[in-house]
């Protein structure tokens, strides 16, 4: 769903995102002196500590993904349904070769490549740059800003069975940076020749029970998912704000 602010802002383009990434990298390297840190390592740390990047956090573990889908969030506990998305990333893994393990932005020229902006995202499984990456079995999805197809529309159906109704490119760009293609209930791709993306809804009333099972059977809780000092401090603040430590 779009809010009123996003509805009036122009949809971003790939060049806009590249300029923003250049400014962020220059700012971080200049002020915090991470001069020799490769670009992907810089983004991985920014993303894990909620900095702005084009990457999307994912986990290679379905159970970890489930934990995040039902995670207790700042008092807004279980009022809304959760959702898990599963991406088929067969043959889409990024290898840290000379192109990707670089100080510069590795996808600077990729905007000219149609796969970068029109296909499913790439998966990067980073090294253990910080404690959260192995704890969460982390990966990142990477993709370019969706491109315009012929006629000014991106080829995304609005819903199953609506072959003549397509999203406009500005609608797509405001809603997502990942050009994925969904499947129907039978698992059949709505667009042929693409790897499927699946989604599973988790009812709000089921969240608390799932959290208990995940902690009891697998030991998943905020301390194991956020094992660093930053995570510890954030969890203490949340517990104090909710008076959980006073009970």
Per the domain annotation, does 94 fall within a domain? yes
- Residue with the larger pLDDT of the pair 209 and 13: 209
- Residue with the larger pLDDT of the pair 99 and 189: 99
Per the domain annotation, does 141 fall within a domain? yes
Structural domain boundaries enclosing 26: 4-71+79-238
Residue 186 in this model has a pLDDT that exceeds 80:
no
Confidence of residue 112 (pLDDT cuts 50, 70, 90): low
- Residue with the larger pLDDT of the pair 81 and 13: 81
Per the domain annotation, does 244 fall within a domain? no
Q: What is the rounded average pLDDT for all residues in the chain?
A: 80
CA distance 37 to 60: 25
CA distance 63 to 4: 35
Which residue in 67, 82, 76 sits closest to 241, CA to CA?
A: 76
Question: Largest Cα–Cα distance in the chain?
Answer: 61
Per the domain annotation, does 100 fall within a domain? yes
Overall residue count recorded for the chain in this entry: 247
Per the domain annotation, does 246 fall within a domain? no
- Residue with the larger pLDDT of the pair 48 and 243: 48
Tens-digit pLDDT profile for residues 78-100: 688 999 988 888 888 888 787 78
Per the domain annotation, does 196 fall within a domain? yes
Residues 214/67, Cβ–Cβ less than 8 Å: yes
In whole angstroms, how large is the CA radius of gyration of the chain? 20
40 CB neighbour count, 10 Å cutoff: 22
Per the domain annotation, does 245 fall within a domain? no
CA distance 213 to 220: 9
Tens-digit pLDDT profile for residues 151-168: 555 556 666 566 667 777
| Residue 170 CB contacts under 8 Å (≥ 6 apart), including other chains | 10, 11
pLDDT (0 to 100) of residue 150: 56
Confidence of residue 213 (pLDDT cuts 50, 70, 90): very high
pLDDT (0 to 100) of residue 165: 73
User: What are phi and psi for residue 157, nearest 5 degrees?
Assistant: -70, 145
Number of domains in the chain: 1
Per the domain annotation, does 243 fall within a domain? no
């Amino acid at each position: 769903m779009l809010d009123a602010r996003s509805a009036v802002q122009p949809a971003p383009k790939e060049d806009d995102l590249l300029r923003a990434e250049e400014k962020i990298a220059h700012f971080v390297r200049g002020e915090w002196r991470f001069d020799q840190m490769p670009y992907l390592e810089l983004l991985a740390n920014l993303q894990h500590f909620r900095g702005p990047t084009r990457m999307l956090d994912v986990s290679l573990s379905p159970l970890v993904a489930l934990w995040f889908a039902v995670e207790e969030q700042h008092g807004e506990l279980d009022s809304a349904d959760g959702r898990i998305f599963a991406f088929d990333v067969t043959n889409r893994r990024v290898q840290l070769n000379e192109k990707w393990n670089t100080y510069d932005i590795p996808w600077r020229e990729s905007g000219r490549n149609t796969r970068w902006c029109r296909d499913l995202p790439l998966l990067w499984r980073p090294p253990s740059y910080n404690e959260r990456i192995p704890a969460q079995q982390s990966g990142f999805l990477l993709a370019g800003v969706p491109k315009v197809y012929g006629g000014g529309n991106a080829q995304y159906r609005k819903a199953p069975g609506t072959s003549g109704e397509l999203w406009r490119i500005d609608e797509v760009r405001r809603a997502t940076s990942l050009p994925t293609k969904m499947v129907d209930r039978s698992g059949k791709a709505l667009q042929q020749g693409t790897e499927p993306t699946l989604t599973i809804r988790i009812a709000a009333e089921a969240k608390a029970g799932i959290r208990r099972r995940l902690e009891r059977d697998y030991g998943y809780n905020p301390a194991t998912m956020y094992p660093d000092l930053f995570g510890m401090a954030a969890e203490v603040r949340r517990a104090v704000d909710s008076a959980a430590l006073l009970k």
